Structure 1
Amino acid sequence: MRKLYLALALISAASIQTACSATISGSESTSASTPDAANDAAPVDATTNASSVATTAPTDHATDGTTDDFGSVIPPLGTFDRRDPDFIQYKPCLEMPDEFLAQAGLHGKEMMDGVGEVDGICTFKTPSEYGATFFNLHGSSHSFTDYERISGETWSSETSNGDPILIYRPEYLSDRECLAAIETQQGTLSITFQSFKFGHEDPNLNLCETAENKLKTVLELDGKHEN
């Protein structure tokens, strides 16, 4: 059952990327040879089953109570141009050390075969008291403007330094997931919090607040936010 939830979580997260890609395709005229086309998320086959989820066992050195000095593992914050020939998309699932993720409370990283490397999406288990819920971490070449153009609700927050954070809640899954994102010079870094507690939602569990707090925790560890 857990693998089924993981597959659904990854597919749902990838579908947001695909929606952004469709928005870009409709608003920009690009050829397959442009950097933009190369960085857009690939369509996701919703028929993918749970057997395609590959587990990457975390190397959790943070549980010994020590604090490692990772330096900065997140690109400088700011806007980006995916059409720039020198643009290189940040892929946090591949570039953030497992020890760093563990200190942020993200444990048990799992990636779908192929999709994780291409779309940069991975998922993490949550504490047992949350029930059937997951965090998804992903990087993309989609800007805030792309998210604001797809169906759903968006609003703004910010870091302690005033860097803008986008909160996005999809139209058809508004009671199931919420995304918090920040732009870096190498693309958008996002964390989505998803719930599969069908029929018995926890009224005290705020999906958007949980996603935003986790993003801020990651940024704080990298020195880009202060609580």
Structure 2
Amino acid sequence: MHLLRKLRHTGILFAAGAILTGCTINIGGETTGAAPESVVPESSTELTDENTDLAAAAGDGIEVEPVIPPLGEFDRSDPDYVQYKPCLEIPDDFLEKAGLRGKEMMEGVGEVDGICTFAADPEHGEAIFKLQGSRHDFATHLRVSGEVTWDATSFGAPILIHRDEYLADSACQAVVETLGGTFSVTFQSFEYGNEKYQFDPCVEAQKKLKTVLELDGKHEN
């Protein structure tokens, strides 16, 4: 079955699915109520100004314009707020450099919120990456059931990692806040019951998010 069709038939997944349908569920696992102070940047504006100067295409040394809004908290009530729609705004050549090829827009919400999927590399078996923009902040993500852990970019911007409660071994989402709303990368495997499957979905989601941020000058290895 086509991977995009499979995604639609999984009953959708993880945090973003519950948030977008308006569900509020108690948190499971070891979840904290906010990003740890150790990973929250003192000034998002200062960090992102520095990051802009670092933006370069990986491996070729050619500077590129950032395609992701500055990282930091956002205010939907601000008259200048515009929701970021990654799959409508990130160029395909940028995505290819990040190892995301064969973009397929999610039906309905794809054009509205800029949500798209990509087949993962062959070593992952049947699996996908999903890119998504959202108007929901970290606090909203924390109200979705599942296990939440935290990491940070090399510049100190917090990364929320949400492991799906019902698909803990196969679906996970890595999220950052930007001035245009949250931007997330989800990894989901369809290798159900495969005991030899060794990939942790949270590791894969987080790695891919950091790859995209690094290409955009917002993270360094």
Normalising by structure 2, what TM-score? 0.77
Opposite residue 6 of structure 2, the aligned amino acid is: Y
**Identical aligned residues as a percent:** 56
Amino acid at match of 2:78: D
Residue of structure 2 equivalent to 1:135: 129
Does the aligned pair in 1 maintain the 2:171–2:187 contact within 8 Å?
A: yes
Cα distance between partner residues in 2 of 1:155 and 1:127: 25
The number of residue pairs the alignment matches comes to: 187
2:8 is the alignment partner of 1:7: yes
Which residue does the alignment assign to 1:207? 201
Q: Secondary structure at the match of 1:22?
A: coil
Instruction: Kindly report which structure 2 residues correspond to 1:1-80, keeping only aligned pairs within 5 A, or say none.
Output: 1-3=1-3, 4-8=5-9, 11-12=12-13, 15-19=17-21, 21-23=22-24, 69-80=63-74
CA contact (8 A) 1:9 1:123 kept: no
Match of 1:112, as an amino acid? M
Q: Which amino acid aligns with 1:161?
A: F
Q: Tell me whether 1:168 sits opposite 2:162 in the alignment.
A: yes
Q: For the structure 1 residues 218 and 202, does the alpha-carbon distance in structure 2 shift closer, same or farther, using more than 3 Å as the test?
A: farther
Whole-Å Cα distance in 1 between the matches of residues 215 and 133 of structure 2? 18
Deviation at 1:143, TM superposition (A): 0.6
Deviations 1:8-43 (A, max 9, x none): 469446623425x3349xxxxxxxxxxxxxxxxxxx
Contact 1:80/1:184, CA 8 A, preserved across alignment: yes
Letter in 2 for 1:209: V
Deviations 1:182-220 (A, max 9, x none): 000110000000011011144421110110010000000
Unpaired runs of at least 5, structure 1: 25-61
The aligned residue for residue 177 of structure 1 is 171
> What corresponds to 2:189 in structure 1?
195
Offset of residue 155 of structure 1: 1.1
In structure 1, the partner of 2:148 is 154
- Residue 161 of structure 2 aligns to a residue whose secondary structure is strand
Partners of 1:173 and 1:111 in 2: CA distance: 23
What secondary structure is seen at the aligned counterpart in 2 of 1:225? coil
Q: CA deviation at 1:69?
A: 4.0
- Give the 3 Å change call, closer, same or farther, for CA 221–9 of structure 1 in structure 2: farther
- 1:103 equivalent among 79, 97, 105: 97
Are the counterparts in 2 of residues 101 and 107 from structure 1 also a CA contact under 8 Å? yes
Higher helix share: 1
CA distance in 2, matches of 1:157, 1:212: 9
Counterpart Cα distance in 2 of 1:149 and 1:6 = 23
Counterpart residue identity of residue 145, structure 1: A
Structure 1 residues 220 and 6: CA distance shift in structure 2, 3 A: same
> Contact 1:176 / 1:196 at 8 angstroms: preserved in 2?
yes
Cα contact 1:77–1:163 (8 A) shared by 2: yes
Q: Which has the higher contact order (CA 8 A, sep 6+)?
A: 2
